[in-house]
Structure 1
Amino acid sequence: MGAGHDHGQQVLRAGERHRGRLWAAFALLAVFMVVEAVGAWWTGSLALLSDAGHMFTDVLGIGMALAAITAASKASRDGQRTFGLYRMEVLAALANAVLLFGVAVYVLIEAIRRLGEPPEVLVGPMLAVAVAGLIANIVAFLLLRSGAQESLNVRGAYLEVFGDLLASVGVIVAAGVIALTDWWYADPIIAVAVGLFILPRTYHLGRAALRVLVQAAPPHVNVAEVRDGLRAVEGVADVHDLHVWTLTSGMEVASAHLTLDSDADLAGVLAGARRTLHDRFAIEHATLQVEPRDADGVCGGAQW
């Protein structure tokens, strides 16, 4: 019996309602990605190139987020997709993390190579492009901030934009140092700093996505406490085959077998279990199998 059947609406709240903001951020960053790429080629700045590469992953990540949200909202319920395509959001977040990792590694390698003999860069255009990129990132950051707390995919794009915002600040600092001191090492050093800043955030995003894909329990849900909570429901003698996992952002799912007392009221047990899962653990969708005491060992629990 499903304890709440509004999981589709949960996903719409977590992802689709932020679609307009995602589109606005996508368009803004796509334009400035081209501007920064051209500026990096023109000025010869590796720091600016790293910022452009980071912005490319922003654009790609937001594009994948939009594609995933669209696929999830329009997925046909054809019997083979009993949960639609909600996992597309998580897959997009994981791909986003991999791409961001690749950009960070490239920037680090190129920066280390340039430390041996840093080339001169055109400081004026470098500074102008970096300031424009900073403004674009601030606007995109504000657009995505509200959705980052609800959707893993939006959070991935939000983190990338935040990292890119700081990278733009770094490019501005590098341009200022070069303009004032002619110390050309500032450009590859800032590029290294940007790469090192990206890596841990990429790790955390990838880990969060993998946690969902391997169907681990959500970090904020203690499975032992869920078991104890269900056992405390009036009429429940025991709980076994309990599983808790995340289908996609904002959709926690559980399944469990409940062994009932001989005089238990079936409807009351199911209602109590549903309230417990919903009120204490924010689990909106659950499948509960109820069994009499004398069915011990007959339910055919999984032997994985």
Structure 2
Amino acid sequence: MGHDHSHGAHAGHSHSHAGHSHSAGERNERRLLLAAALTTITLVAEAAGGIISGSLALLADAGHMLTDAAALILAWLAVRFARHPADWKRTYGFERFEVLAAFSNGLALFFISAMICYEAIERIYEPVAVLGAPMLVIAAVGLCVNVATLLILRHGGEANLNVRAALLHVISDLLGSVAAIIAALVILQTGWTPIDPILSIVITLLILRSAWYITKESGHILLEGAPSGLDVREVQKDLEANVPDVQSVHHVHAWSLSENRRVMTLHAQTCDTVPPEQVAAAIKARLKQAFGVVHATVEVEHKDCADAAHAKGCGKV
């Protein structure tokens, strides 16, 4: 009786989007793997330097980089999983795995920050001996590697939440290396060791702001929240005003599979003289053009809403 779940308008777009996504995914996969390798090499060097010099600061930073290497490996695995095709169990595919990895990495940054602050406060009250020269050399090497890793990942994070979360771990390492260099120079010149934990706390506070943004954004996607910048009330008004033969739009639901894949379902009421597939195709074209929705399921109705008996307020968004 006039219901249409046609996805024909979406099919052509789906292939081109998938091709672009696979290409970007392959590039991000290579970037993340290289970044993980560089980070692992650096943490081994810092651990060795910490043992040789007796520097607790270097050993602590090596522990920090161990968690960052794990975060980069998780991000790399997420990109690999996201490229897997959809199957009968996961009909939308595996793209959401990248969002889950970003959320996990965001939470990890909060845990790491708490550990660093706890250790820094302990060191302020109970200063430890730090050898400035070895600390300076290892921190400088770490900075060079972190800059190289940052350059590798910076383009991949423009449109990928997972890569941005991994990039944030790298930035935290880079800032940590800068803080370690400054602290080493101060220690070499003055012998004042509290500068190390004080700078660690300052850097941690800077990282927490970005960690909150990554966790909040990925959490919103996991909770099936409406895509950023998309108001379903405006979608309803726009379709009623700009799509011919549409009398009303209701039961609008919007969410994201990943950061860049918007999905929507809606009901559209029209007169019974208009072919339902024609209305559905026009609505999908408008959603793609005006709102960037890549996948839409449109239920066309000629009279009463099919869900009116099950849900009050079906005539509303």
Scaled by the length of structure 2, the TM-score of the pair is 0.87
The residue that corresponds to 1:229 in the other structure is 238
After alignment, is 42-51 or 131-140 more displaced? 42-51
Counterpart AA for 2:139: A
Alpha carbons of structure 1 residues 143 and 165: separation in structure 2 relative to 1, 3 Å: same
* Contact 2:57–2:130 (8 Å) recurs in 1: no
Counterpart AA for 2:124: L
Structure 1 gap ranges (5+): none
1:275 lines up with 2:281 in the alignment: no
Alpha carbons of structure 1 residues 230 and 206: separation in structure 2 relative to 1, 3 Å: same
Counterpart AA for 2:10: G
1:34 lines up with 2:40 in the alignment: no
The residue that corresponds to 1:94 in the other structure is 103
Residue 10 of structure 1: how far off its partner (Å): 5.5
The percentage of counterpart residues that share the same residue type is 38
* Contact 2:179–2:196 (8 Å) recurs in 1: no
Counterpart AA for 1:25: A
1:62-83 deviations in Å (ceiling 9; x for gaps): 2111211222223561x12111
- Count of aligned pairs between the two proteins: 302
1:90-137 deviations in Å (ceiling 9; x for gaps): 111111112221111011011101111311201111011111111111
* Contact 1:134–1:165 (8 Å) recurs in 2: yes
The residue that corresponds to 1:135 in the other structure is 144
Q: Any residues of structure 2 matched to 1:50-89 within 5 Å, and which?
A: 50-75=60-85, 77=87, 79-89=88-98
1:289 lines up with 2:299 in the alignment: yes
* Contact 1:118–1:188 (8 Å) recurs in 2: no
SS in 1 for 2:274: coil
After alignment, is 186-195 or 130-139 more displaced? 186-195
The residue that corresponds to 2:206 in the other structure is 197
Residue 236 of structure 1: how far off its partner (Å): 0.8
SS in 1 for 2:128: coil
Residue 43 of structure 1: how far off its partner (Å): 3.9
The residue that corresponds to 2:113 in the other structure is 104
Structure 2 gap ranges (5+): 1-5
Counterpart AA for 1:121: V
Scaled by the length of structure 1, the TM-score of the pair is 0.91
Counterpart AA for 2:72: I
The residue that corresponds to 2:3 in the other structure is none
1:140-178 deviations in Å (ceiling 9; x for gaps): 111111110121111111122122212211111111111
1:211 lines up with 2:217 in the alignment: no
The residue that corresponds to 2:261 in the other structure is 251
SS in 2 for 1:253: strand
Alpha carbons of structure 1 residues 108 and 230: separation in structure 2 relative to 1, 3 Å: same
Query: What's the RMSD between the two structures over aligned residues?
Result: 2.2
Alpha carbons of structure 1 residues 50 and 249: separation in structure 2 relative to 1, 3 Å: farther
* Contact 1:278–1:284 (8 Å) recurs in 2: yes
Alpha carbons of structure 1 residues 110 and 268: separation in structure 2 relative to 1, 3 Å: same
1:220 lines up with 2:229 in the alignment: yes
Q: Any residues of structure 2 matched to 1:107-118 within 5 Å, and which?
A: 107-118=116-127
Counterpart AA for 2:262: E
The 2-side partners of 1:298 and 1:278 are apart by 26
